[in-house]
Structure 1
Amino acid sequence: MASVIEVTSRTPRDRCCRVAGLLALLLFSIVGARAEDVSPPGDQQPVATPSGQKSGAAGVRGNTASSPAAEQHRLPPDSTTKQTLALPGRTLAFTATAGSIRLFNDKGEPQADIAYTAYQLDDDAEARARPVTFLFNGGPGAASAYLQFGDAGPWRLAINGDAAISSASPDLQPNAETWLDFTDLVFIDPVGTGYSRFVATGDDVRKRFFSVDGDVNSIALTIRRWLEKSNRLLSPKYIVGESYGGIRGPKIVRNLQTEQGVGVRGLILVSPMLDFREFSGSSILQYVWSLPTMAAVARETKGSVTAADMADVERYARGDFLVDLVKGEADAEATARLADKVAALTGIDQAVSRRLAGRFDVTEFRREFDRKNGRVTGRYDASISGFDPYPDSSYFHFNDPSGEPLTAPLTSAAVDLTTRKLNWRPDGSYELLSGAVERAWDFGRGLNPAESISQLRQILALDPKLKVLVVHGLFDLATPYFGSKILLDQLPAYATRERVKLVVYPGGHMFYSRDASRQAFRAEAAALMK
């Protein structure tokens, strides 16, 4: 919904000042300034500073005029429209708002405009009692279109099978599995994604937003600001984050609990990355985490497979495989033993597995799995394959056949919905997945790479009623499900199975592209919120 102006006047010192103030106010009304050009008292909230520094006061009071340079980059006023969605067995009437929230630093200077798309069911009697869910993707550098148009939003774009190609029609259709039946939805695009943008210049501003803590603080503040201006502070609140959203999610809930004064009922993490420390570099756990997914891809070629079918591989990965890995390549017998077992589980040639000592990183597996046919598997969904553009090269020269084809249809669908159906027309380009943001990101250095398990422990300990749902795709090599399973198993006893639940669906990173997986995920989310 559009912001409502509050005009406050400072106490005049004499009658002349009163007259001057009234004349100025009259002139302002005649000119007809837009509501979004003046921020109401308390509307200017500081963006938190990098890790280790305090964010400043709770808010900046009074109006602060934006600079001319900032106004050149301002997003248009919020657009609110009434929508009706005809679905099997029901019709949903709802209000859609496409707009933005401006963030300020602790000096009251504008920093960034964060774009969002909100859908609220038209039921005034239940508005405050209805849950409201905030959703964002990851990257970093990804807009929320993946979750909005692939899974939970009112309209959906098919992103599987023949529809998952660049030239596919971007025509959105009513989404029978929308979550709008049981929760209002707010999709957030962090700065640098979607239409969200900086309004301040300078490297220091970008460094602050493009960091783990600065990003978390900006999204948490956006959530609080939306709740305030939409009169939804009393509603049950839920957070959904996908992929790098696994780093964001627990940290944002912690920030909301302790910095913003906003409680959260539940956290849903979709294909999350929870800890960069154990899935990169020299850590041998990266091979443990990914082995069940690689084996599942091999079994999928012979018939449908579920997470329950992978119990034997999980036992081997936790047990003998890990033991032989720890022995190292200096132990020739252990190395040959695990290499032969990995070859048997994945279907990769035994000679290749022995040459690599049974230690396949994701890129090597993706190429070797079907190299004889000149094909490579997807990273987001390894059950999808495409042609290797350089099959004879000794180096890897391929991208992701399960991810890149989605860029064109999702981008076109997002722009068409925003500008035509929602009647919000920002200038500039829509950024679905920004490589520039990812390249500029500060993930942490030295002994402190990005992880969110610490915050997950803290938020569960702080609020005994908070529930967490972690969902994965079985064939996802970007964030393998077994990594999350191992990490969640390390949580203290207070994180019971009733409070922290892991579910693995057939599919990849965007497992919700499969109809059955999307329907099952919707049922899990509804059960959590009810």
Structure 2
Amino acid sequence: MRPLHSLMIGLLTPLLLASPLSHSADIEIEVDSPSAETSIPAATEFVTEHSGTFNGQKLRYRARAGETYLQDENGEPSAAIFSFDYVALNDGKDRPVTFVWNGGPGSASLWLHMGTFGPKRVVVPSDAGHAGAPPYPIVDSTETILDVTDLVFVDPVGTGFSRTLGEHDGKEFWGLTEDAESMAAFIRRWLNENNRWNSPKFLLGESYGTTRAALVADILETEHRVALNGIVFISQALDYAGSTPYVADNLISHITYVPTMAATAYYHERIDAQGASLEEWVQSAREFAVDELLPALFKGNTLDAEDRLRVRDELARLTGLTPEYVERANLRVRGNRFAKELLRDEGKIVGTLDGRYIGDPVDDLTARADFDAASNAISGAYKAAIMSYVQSDLAVNWDRRYLSPADPRLSDEWNWNPKGRDADWEPHWVNTSHNLVSALEANPGLKVLVASGYYDLVTPFFDAEYTLNRYGITPDRVDYRYYGGGHMMYVNEDARLELLRDVRAFLEEQLR
């Protein structure tokens, strides 16, 4: 790999950002600066120039780490959205741009930023080992997709350096709809400030970031008339019925988790695969889950004894659990309990974010893991990497705290009601699949790439198939890809390279 040479050209430069962001407005109205009455300083940015080689292509690019101000209905600044923008120099104003965010809700963009898609990345053990103590290797990410698209990594309000302004409170932005509206407003403002309305546009989100991306796509396509060229879902989470294993009567999750449990048992050699490949083993689990387990669970206590024994034993065989445990679970094995049960005889747990990781809890008798082995293994490395990188390479010299984890109020005050915080509604699973369908209906050229890790016990890959295969979306508009990792599959080096190749190919195909 060729080294990335950084040429620092700027430190702190005030940026005056304005223009009202009404969802129905088609015309941007420029104002000079925030009102003097608000006592809100101008937005802050840090600008540097760099050069590097990405996918064999030499590139000079500008890095802007800075705030973009959103405005309320009175035209006053309401929030400062901080983003990390990587824009190629002298490559034309219509170059593609991809807006990237992580999930949570409440996660800053450091995972995708420092994991693989930014120009630098942190290296953690590819074999699911613990990253240990610092220093951590921060290297050039020469395989990333900067050769085909500019990149904008976005931190929602209450994460990273993003904050509310003036008298505004985080609760105005902390919610399913509120969050998506703020991200759509940010994109409109960014396009306007950078004269990029005619650029090809992509969204790339991970986990809850896919929930957000479906909503944002709908808002952009149907309300703002901003056409997108493609969406990349990493660890898809649109319909939460298939990714909520801790609700006892949620039959859907008892089906969608089976292939991931089977893959994890295969990885840890807790099953007799009889020479089957991982893909073959997973396919057997898919077929069993739909053709045998689902009808059995639907029948409930009317299932006859012979069929029950057959289903019980096959579920145990595929997942590496004992028939006795499956029986006690009433054929309903919860994915979060599986993480503790698979290696119980060794006193170990497997990670939920990535089932390849192993943890050693003090309490060997607990029904479920009290911590996530994967998160414990890599979180320290990612936090250290982003803080070191933005200070040294991006010249971010600021005393503002980088919120990762998020503002401590965010989780408790998040509004899951799609109709608004104070509106009446019939409780149901979070589901933004209909929003994706709406965006696809509005834009016949829009397509989706779905990237899933085989060992993801948070957003199982079979849930992505279950979700996107049942809303009338034609198969040619969704491309499924699978990797030998978990929720953040890019911590596995082979998976990281495969993911980048697949995303690059998807972008290039959509651009054609």
Settle same-fold status: TM greater than 0.5: yes
1:146–1:517 CA distance, 2 compared to 1 (3 A):
same
1:149–1:307 CA distance, 2 compared to 1 (3 A):
farther
Superposed CA offset, 1:451-478 (max 9, x none): 1110111111111111111110001010
1:58–1:258 CA distance, 2 compared to 1 (3 A):
farther
1:408–1:118 CA distance, 2 compared to 1 (3 A):
same
Same amino acid, percent of matched pairs? 28
User: Equivalent residue for 1:26?
Assistant: none
- 214, 218, 230: which one aligns with 1:266: 230
8 Å CA contact 1:335–1:357 kept in 2: the answer is no
| Alignment partners' CA distance in 2, 1:395 and 1:297 | 18
- 155, 163, 172: which one aligns with 2:120: 155
- Answer with 402-411 or 156-165: which moved more: 156-165
Q: Alignment RMSD, CA only?
A: 2.5
Superposed CA offset, 1:235-294 (max 9, x none): 111000110012111111111112233210001100011112444332201010000000
Higher relative contact order (CA 8 A, sep 6+): 2
Kindly state the Cα deviation for residue 380 of structure 1 after the two structures are TM-superposed.
0.6
User: Equivalent residue for 1:212?
Assistant: 176
Residues 59-98 of structure 1 mapped to structure 2, 5 A cutoff: 62=31, 64-65=34-35, 70-71=40-41, 77-86=44-53, 89-98=56-65
Residues 363-442 of structure 1 mapped to structure 2, 5 A cutoff: 363-392=336-365, 394=366, 396=368, 398-434=370-406, 436-442=409-415
User: Equivalent residue for 2:155?
Assistant: 189
1:345 partner SS: helix
User: Equivalent residue for 1:298?
Assistant: 265
User: Equivalent residue for 2:193?
Assistant: 229
1:206–1:148 CA distance, 2 compared to 1 (3 A):
same
Q: Which runs of 5+ in 2 are unaligned?
A: 1-12, 418-424
Amino acid paired to 2:411: E
| Alignment partners' CA distance in 2, 1:253 and 1:285 | 26
1:308–1:85 CA distance, 2 compared to 1 (3 A):
farther
1:97 partner SS: strand
Q: TM-score if structure 1 supplies the norm length?
A: 0.84
| Alignment partners' CA distance in 1, 2:191 and 2:280 | 40
| Alignment partners' CA distance in 2, 1:322 and 1:352 | 19
| Alignment partners' CA distance in 2, 1:305 and 1:197 | 48
User: Equivalent residue for 2:300?
Assistant: 328
Amino acid paired to 2:136: P
8 Å CA contact 2:156–2:162 kept in 1: the answer is yes
User: Equivalent residue for 1:15?
Assistant: none
Kindly state the Cα deviation for residue 352 of structure 1 after the two structures are TM-superposed.
1.6
| Alignment partners' CA distance in 1, 2:177 and 2:383 | 28
2:64 partner SS: strand
| Alignment partners' CA distance in 2, 1:276 and 1:104 | 32
| Alignment partners' CA distance in 1, 2:231 and 2:26 | 27
User: Equivalent residue for 2:131?
Assistant: 165
User: Equivalent residue for 1:22?
Assistant: none
| Alignment partners' CA distance in 2, 1:374 and 1:457 | 45
| Alignment partners' CA distance in 1, 2:485 and 2:367 | 28
Matched, 1:338 2:311: yes
1:151 partner SS: helix
Kindly state the Cα deviation for residue 401 of structure 1 after the two structures are TM-superposed.
0.7
Matched, 1:496 2:474: yes
User: Equivalent residue for 2:3?
Assistant: none
Kindly state the Cα deviation for residue 210 of structure 1 after the two structures are TM-superposed.
0.5
Kindly state the Cα deviation for residue 386 of structure 1 after the two structures are TM-superposed.
1.0
1:449–1:358 CA distance, 2 compared to 1 (3 A):
closer
| Alignment partners' CA distance in 2, 1:90 and 1:518 | 19
User: Equivalent residue for 1:465?
Assistant: 445
1:312–1:153 CA distance, 2 compared to 1 (3 A):
same
2:318 partner SS: helix
2:435 partner SS: helix
| Alignment partners' CA distance in 2, 1:351 and 1:183 | 53
User: Equivalent residue for 1:251?
Assistant: 215
Amino acid paired to 2:267: E
Kindly state the Cα deviation for residue 138 of structure 1 after the two structures are TM-superposed.
0.5
Kindly state the Cα deviation for residue 61 of structure 1 after the two structures are TM-superposed.
5.8
Matched, 1:45 2:21: yes
8 Å CA contact 2:14–2:45 kept in 1: the answer is no
1:78 partner SS: strand
8 Å CA contact 1:339–1:359 kept in 2: the answer is no
2:431 partner SS: coil
User: Equivalent residue for 2:254?
Assistant: 287
8 Å CA contact 1:219–1:252 kept in 2: the answer is yes
- Answer with 329-338 or 252-261: which moved more: 329-338
